[in-house]
Homo-oligomer: A and B are copies of this chain.
Amino acid sequence: MSKKYKVALVVGAGAFGTSIATVLSNNFDKVVVKVRSEDVYRGIKDNHENGIYLPGLPLPKNILAALTWDEVDEYCPKEQLELIVSGLPTAGIETFFQEHYDRFASYFDCSIPLLSLSKGIDPVTLELSDDLFYDTFPKHRELFNFLSGPSFAREIMEEQITLVAIAGRSKQVLTKVIDMVESHYFRALASYDVKGVLLGGALKNVIAIAGGIIEGLGFNYNTRAAMITRAISDMLKFGKVFNARPETFYGLSGMGDLILTTTGKLSRNKSFGLEVAKGRNPEEIISSQRTVVEGYKTTKAAYLLSNKFEIQANIFVGVHEVLYGGKPPQEAIQKIMEIPIIFEDGTHL
């Protein structure tokens, strides 16, 4: 029996991209995943499993892997394609879409919408991922949508009830994309605040690293809850610079995702922070693993932003000092604790 939608194309087969492909497989006849590496390709094709990023979790049979663009064209002819999902890390977006400009421009000329899963800030241009897409495809801004919210890939695969935010500029496109992803365990709430949704998703990774560091140093729940709460105040200051709505930071893509990544067990950013607390060299940890720790680069970007716009974001600056300045984590925490704050908004009595 055919489903409501025909074909979706997912580029990037990391853990999160694969989990969203699985969500889409409920509503699409076929979900084609364009992968780069032979081992992921073989895993999906031969065993219906992404053995590299989501080992042990079977994928639905209507998820098809494609290693070449010829395969993509074979599995998803343009006239059947109804959604493109970008599961690329932020740093890879610009290069990828410029390299395959003609193909994607022709998709967008047919009004096929895109849903991006990236949560990061470009550490060089300090742009959020919406601008990376808009720069390359300025005519098609209304087609780009951005998903963010508390959602571990593995739990999506287990059909845990999951709520995320999807931000976009067009009411019509948003409504359609939300309809495409929703299922009995996965729901998406709409937002027009693209910057707010992206910023929350990006900055929370830095706080997740801080959460890992704090936990690794032996601090417990009181300290963690205090740090998370104060971090949201810092995030709002970044939001101001980007004209984001404060409410967005208190929603799924802000606070929701922050709670998930700092208190959940599975976050890569938090695990990274735990390793840093043990005294390991941050750069060494990063270079020794295959998965991307978005928060590492975002820490740099957030620091540069705080300098550029004179944002007083103590927790973010503290994490930067630890990751890039060689400061002992214990010392950074002490410094944050000593800042005189009388009211929660930073004003004095």
B-binding residues in A (CB < 8 A): 149-152, 155-156, 158, 160-163, 165, 171, 174-175, 178, 187, 189-191, 219-226, 228-230, 232, 247, 250-252, 255-257, 259-260, 263-266, 333, 337, 341-345, 349
> CA of A256 to CA of B147 in the docked complex: distance in angstroms?
25
CB-CB under 8 A from A229, the residues of chain B are 150, 163, 250-252, 255-256, 259
Take A225-B259, A251-B344 as given contacts and tell me if A158 and B220 are in contact as well, using a CB distance cutoff of 8 Å.
Answer: yes
State whether A255 and B232 are in contact (beta carbons under 8 Å apart), knowing that A189-B344, A190-B342, A263-B221 are contacts in the complex: yes
By a CB distance below 8 angstroms, the chain B residues around A171 are: 349
CB-defined contacts of A263 to chain B, threshold 8 Å: 221, 225, 259, 263
Copies of this subunit = 2
Given A161-B333, A226-B256, A255-B255: A221 and B265 within 8 A (CB)? yes
Closest beta carbon of chain B to A244's beta carbon, Å = 14
Q: How far is the CB of A186 from chain B (nearest CB, A)?
A: 9
22 contacts between A and B (CB under 8 A): A150-B221, A155-B222, A156-B222, A160-B219, A160-B222, A161-B219, A161-B333, A162-B222, A163-B222, A178-B342, A189-B341, A191-B343, A221-B263, A221-B266, A224-B260, A225-B259, A226-B252, A228-B255, A228-B256, A229-B250, A229-B259, A247-B344
Complex contact B225–A260 (CB within 8 A): yes
Report the separation of the CA atoms of residues A257 and B226 in the bound assembly, to the nearest whole angstrom: 8
Contact A257 B223 (CB under 8 A): no
Is there contact, CB below 8 Å, between B230 and A163? Answer: yes
Query: Which residues on B sit within 8 Å (CB–CB) of A175?
Result: 349
Q: How far is the CA of A333 from the CA of B184 in the complex (A)?
A: 12
**Cβ contact of A161, chosen from B158, B191, B226, B228, cutoff 8 A:** B226
B162 near A337 with CB under 8 A, answer no
> Complex Cα distance A158/B223, Å?
12
Q: Are A259 and B259 in contact (CB under 8 A)?
A: yes
Q: A160's contact among B150, B178, B189, B223, by CB below 8 Å, is which?
A: B223
Q: How far is the CA of A151 from the CA of B229 in the complex (A)?
A: 13
Asked whether, in the complex, the Cβ of B225 is within 8 Å of the Cβ of A187, the reply is no
Residue of B nearest to A339 (CB): B187
User: A345–B191 Cα gap in the complex (Å)?
Assistant: 10
Q: Which residue of B lies closest to A230 (CB)?
A: B163
Residues of chain B lying within 8 A (CB to CB) of residue A191 = 343-344
Please report the C-alpha to C-alpha distance between residue A53 and residue B91 in the assembled complex, in whole angstroms: 52
Cα–Cα distance between A66 and B17 once the two chains are bound (Å)? 63
